[in-house]
Amino acid sequence: MSTLQRARCRLRAHPFALDAALAAGVLACMVAGSFVDPHGPHGVTWELSTPDPLSLVLMALGAAALVLRRRAPLAVLAFTGAASVVESVTGDPRVPVAMCVVVALYTVASTTDRPTTWRVGLLTMTVLTGTAMTAGPLPWYAQENLGLLAWTGIGATAGDAVRSRRAFVQAIRERAERAERTREEEARRRVAEERLRIARDLHDVVAHHIALVNVQAGVAAHVMDKRPDQAKEALAHVREASRSALGELRATVGLLRQSDDPEAPTEPAPGLDRLDELAGTFRSAGLRVLVAREDQSPALPAAVDLAAYRVIQEALTNVQKHAGSEAKAEVSVVRVGPHIEITVLDDGTGDGAGAAGGGRGEGGHGGGEGGHGLLGMRERVTALRGTLTTGPRYGGGFRVHAILPVEPRTSAAQDGP
């Protein structure tokens, strides 16, 4: 910081001292100007004569009033204006007491609004100039009288310009602060959305694979003694499901790495192109799954593709966990106009298959109270401006129906990978 900048900081920290110094400077200028005689025999001359005592008193009082110009600008303007009027009527030779009025008028203009500046400025110029022209010792057309009009106008104009500049700078500063707050809020919102997305992915991966591991482990324990070959096959499925779970967990948690980390995962997020593979994992666990989809299905946006995959995965996981051992699931993926419709039906009669069971009710995921499966599906679909309908089927079973727009809004597509 330079010496000039440090001096400015000190003066801003002590405005009373600045006003006192300004008042002293104005007083010195007025006293020096009182020795100038503009009407000498040879033009403007310097004389050593002492000004009139009343003029000295008026100059001192006007300068002293400027110390309070920030606290009461209008009162200081009225006081200095009155002193200038008295000096205009009685002073001969005249002294420049009007300098105090110019400084006071500048202060009023720089601290109030423009309409107030216009009213106060016109009133001050009219009173001072009119008094000097009509009651002063000089002719009405004297240049000193016109000088009062010019100097008061300059003071008002300069103060208004300073006020306008301060307002402009303040508006820019507030706009910058508001933009900064908006960026911070947007960053927090994006972080929250990313955390929610990762939480949903973790839930889908864990719920799906743990359900498969649980089923296959139960099968292995049941047939271990009588049919060891079937038990080995079930344990192989357990091993494969656990390996797949670890891989997906590693990919999901790897999203938390820094973007410049060379070990960050580069595998694309799952989509409907892996639907047959997903159905195969459930078939290997003993669930009968029938998949029906369009052969020439167009490519979907990444966010829609991931959401569709996760909805089917969570729905089949619920069927596996709650529809019973003899249940059959049907998965349908159909493109209808600008939307893609996903339907997962089951005919299960096990505990939780219907709404009365509580296992797959609104907000649950098959784990009783406090689950997040259906809630996570609904959040995914809603984020893409889609709709999700879930509920028990007439005659038994459960139905999950999702409609996703193929071209979601930009703000919604941020939920994608």
3-state per-residue secondary structure call for 154-197: HHHHHHHHHHHHHHHHHHHHHHHHHHHHHHHHHHHHHHHHHHHH
Please tell me which residue, 6 or 327, carries the higher pLDDT value: 327
Instruction: List, for residues 242-259, the tens digit of each pLDDT value.
Output: 766 666 666 666 655 544
SS3 assignment, position 290? strand
pLDDT band at 179 (very low <50, low <70, confident <90, very high): confident
pLDDT value for 400: 92
Q: Which two tokens stand for residue 183?
A: 């960026």
- Beta 328-336 vs 288-293: how paired, if at all? parallel
What's the gap between Cα 376 and its chain centre?
A: 27
Please check whether residue 346 is in contact with residue 321, taking contact to mean a CB–CB distance below 8 angstroms: no
Cα distance between residue 335 and residue 331, in whole Å = 14
The pLDDT of residue 178 is above 80: yes
Mean pLDDT value across residues 308-325: 83
Which of 125-139, 151-165, 235-249 ranks highest by mean pLDDT?
151-165
Mean pLDDT value across residues 81-108: 82
Rg (CA), the chain: 43
pLDDT value for 172: 92
Cα distance between residue 358 and residue 351, in whole Å = 8
Query: Among residues of the chain, what percentage have pLDDT more than 70?
Result: 70
SS3 assignment, position 222? helix
Please check whether residue 323 is in contact with residue 298, taking contact to mean a CB–CB distance below 8 angstroms: no
Strands of 398-405's sheet, edge to edge? 288-293, 328-336, 339-346, 398-405, 387-392
Instruction: List, for residues 366-405, the tens digit of each pLDDT value.
Output: 444 334 667 778 888 888 888 999 888 887 888 999 999 9
pLDDT band at 362 (very low <50, low <70, confident <90, very high): very low
Cα distance between residue 62 and residue 260, in whole Å = 69
Backbone φ and ψ of 52, nearest 5°: -60, 140
The pLDDT of residue 322 is above 50: yes
pLDDT value for 331: 92
pLDDT band at 177 (very low <50, low <70, confident <90, very high): confident
Lowest mean pLDDT among 26-30, 41-45, 59-63, 185-189: 41-45
Which of 290-304, 347-361, 376-390 ranks highest by mean pLDDT?
376-390
Please check whether residue 311 is in contact with residue 381, taking contact to mean a CB–CB distance below 8 angstroms: yes
pLDDT value for 402: 92
pLDDT value for 13: 67
Cα distance between residue 375 and residue 335, in whole Å = 24
E strands, 298-351, where?
328-336, 339-346
SS3 assignment, position 205? helix
Please tell me which residue, 354 or 159, carries the higher pLDDT value: 159
Lowest mean pLDDT among 1-5, 100-104, 109-113, 135-139: 1-5
Mean pLDDT value across residues 271-289: 84
pLDDT value for 191: 75
Backbone φ and ψ of 298, nearest 5°: -70, 160
pLDDT value for 47: 56
> Which H or E element spans position 292?
strand 288-293
Cβ neighbour number for residue 52 with a 10 Å cutoff: 17
Please check whether residue 417 is in contact with residue 302, taking contact to mean a CB–CB distance below 8 angstroms: yes
pLDDT value for 372: 60
pTM for the full predicted model: 0.48
Cα distance between residue 256 and residue 26, in whole Å = 67
β partners of residue 346: 329, 398
Mean pLDDT value across residues 352-360: 40
Cα distance between residue 352 and residue 305, in whole Å = 28
SS3 assignment, position 36? strand
Cα distance between residue 291 and residue 293, in whole Å = 7
Please check whether residue 145 is in contact with residue 133, taking contact to mean a CB–CB distance below 8 angstroms: yes
pLDDT value for 366: 44
The pLDDT of residue 42 is above 60: no
pLDDT value for 7: 63
